[in-house]
Amino acid sequence: MTLDENKNLTLTEAELACVKKANLQASPSNAALFLSNYLKSGGLREGVEADHDAKFYAECILAYRRKSYEVK
């Protein structure tokens, strides 16, 4: 999962499924915490290149909600 300077999200099919689950949370900050915890708890830990803060995950959720993402 990467987010470029233009706030475009690039993710895998598995990461997309996680983001879709997290997106069910009402606010981007709650969704970011859900996504962060899910990835760290074994969901896709091996796919996470570096530990990110909650702001990164909130930006990912916002990019998803804007439909500004690409699946690779």
Nearest to 56 by CA among 2, 20, 6, 13: 2
The domain in which residue 39 lies consists of 2-71
Mean pLDDT of the chain: 85
Confidence at residue 59, expressed as pLDDT on a 0 to 100 scale: 93
Average pLDDT over residues 29-39: 87
Which stretch of 2-11, 37-46, 62-71 has the lowest confidence by average pLDDT?
A: 37-46
Average pLDDT over residues 43-72: 80
Average pLDDT over residues 62-66: 94
Where does the pLDDT of residue 19 fall: very low under 50, low under 70, confident under 90, or very high at 90 and above? Answer: very high
SS3 26: coil
Residues 21 and 31 sit within 8 Å (Cβ to Cβ): no
**Contacts for 48 with CB less than 8 Å, ≥ 6 apart:** 1, 39, 40
Number of folded domains in the chain? 1
